[in-house]
A and B are shown apart, each in its own frame.
Chain A
């Protein structure tokens, strides 16, 4: 059996460190030993095939049990591509977020802001043949956290992505343009590369915006590319 084609290693400036002193929770949780680099085998270049048959899509977070959630309805759409610009087809995209008041539907969230019985804040969509995904939700609110004095998380939506291979697995956060809290947020500020950081900010998009209905935001996501082009699209990527 020929060796599988691996995934390219990221430029360290574009990815966060494990140890980030400005983000307190990293202190006891970052490994102190260097990571062991693994030449990619089938175990890293393959990944789970996430079929909608087993993982039912849910693309409208703006209502629950037939009732409208409170807040500003928005549409978030974009493409999932690899570093060579090739669409990642059939990728599972999971999202979760706080409600319009900045509170998660989660028992650990004790922020003094109202819960909305019509907003759970979780969704699941798949990319199409061109790598497009799309969901409808409510614009989340900012919320305080105890990382430092007067710490507030900028408005964000969490994204979890499965590409073709385990090495492409990504969890990230999407931010909103013009948020004054971005400048103070150590999680957003975690990369040395400013351009990479700014690609976490969605763009308002009038073409996604629907008249009399909802503003649209575009958020494209890039997963790692292969070290060489496989002969057959998705070869070895099951």
Chain B
């Protein structure tokens, strides 16, 4: 057995593989064109570092189930977005449904977020959950996290219909819970 190849930083010039349209999973000429049903949502947030400065050169990727909670359906639940000059990312997608968990448990609706950037020698992975979901109270992963930090994974409505926001803090006060996958 040969161990997996060593991860290396994406560095500051990863935008050469940035295609800004990928941040809109519902783009009319994209893989989800013609998909019917589901609730259109916007996922946004700001990434800051341990000095409180916006992270303006991060690559954010999402992976999520479809509105029925399936990963093997027609919906292509992948998107990529670069953070802007304020450290903000923004995706347009469909709200995922509950996903089967281990041991016949049910996972609350969630989106997996993967971050790459200069200064990250390997990716950081976290999840975005939705405030107010009943299933959050029994989600195996959320419940395994100490209550004081749980909120770092829970997006809140911004007030604009269908728009949810989750800020990510790489380090320090209110540091986001990152996952060892």
**A83 and B7 in contact (CB under 8 A), knowing A3-B103, A47-B63?**
no
Among B34-42, B47-55, B154-162, the one that faces the other chain is: B47-55
Complex-state Cα separation, A54 to B116, whole angstroms: 23
Pick the residue among A18, A20, A46 that contacts B72 (CB under 8 A). A46
Contacting residue for B51 out of A28, A166, A172, A221, CB 8 A: A28
* B 65-104 to A, binary, CB cutoff 8 A, 1 in contact else 0: 1000001100011100000000000000000000111111
One of A1, A47, A83, A224 near B100 (C-beta < 8 A): A1
Check B6 against A94 for contact (C-beta < 8 Å): no
Cα–Cα, bound, A11→B13 (Å): 29
- On whether A37 and B16 interact (CB within 8 A), knowing A26-B119, A169-B114, A191-B6, the answer reads no
In the complex the two chains form, what is the Cα distance from A46 to B8 in whole Å? 23
Cβ < 8 Å to B, chain A residues 187-211:
187-188, 190-191, 193, 196-197, 199-200
The interface residues of chain B lying within 8 Å CB-to-CB of A30 are 50, 119-120, 170-171
Residues of A within 8 A of B57 (CB): 108
In the bound complex, what is the Cα–Cα distance between A125 and B135 (angstroms)? 40
B121 touches A200 (CB 8 A): no
B4 touches A10 (CB 8 A): yes
Contact A54 B177, CB 8 Å, known A11-B3, A109-B13, A190-B121: no
Most buried by A among B12, B16, B63, B175: B16
The reply to whether B171 and A31 form a contact with Cβ atoms under 8 Å apart is yes
State whether the Cβ of B118 lies closer than 8 Å to any Cβ in chain A.
yes
Q: State whether B179 touches A96 (Cβ < 8 A).
A: no
Q: Mark A168-196, 1 if CB is under 8 A from B, else 0.
A: 01111100000000000001101101001
Count A-side interface residues using an 8 Å CB cutoff. 79
Measured CB to CB, the closest approach of chain B to A76, in angstroms, equals: 15
Which A-B residue pairs are the 4 nearest by beta carbons? Answer: A25-B119, A48-B78, A16-B121, A29-B119
Residues of A bordering B, CB below 8 Å: 1, 3-4, 9-11, 14-18, 20, 23, 25-33, 35-44, 46-51, 54, 81, 83-85, 94, 96, 98, 104-106, 108-109, 120-122, 124, 158, 160, 166-167, 169-173, 187-188, 190-191, 193, 196-197, 199-200, 221-225, 238
Interface residues in chain B, defined as those with a beta carbon under 8 Å from any beta carbon in chain A:
1-17, 30-31, 49-51, 53, 55, 57, 61, 63, 65, 71-72, 76-78, 99-104, 107, 110, 112, 114, 116-125, 127, 141, 144-145, 149, 170-172, 175-181
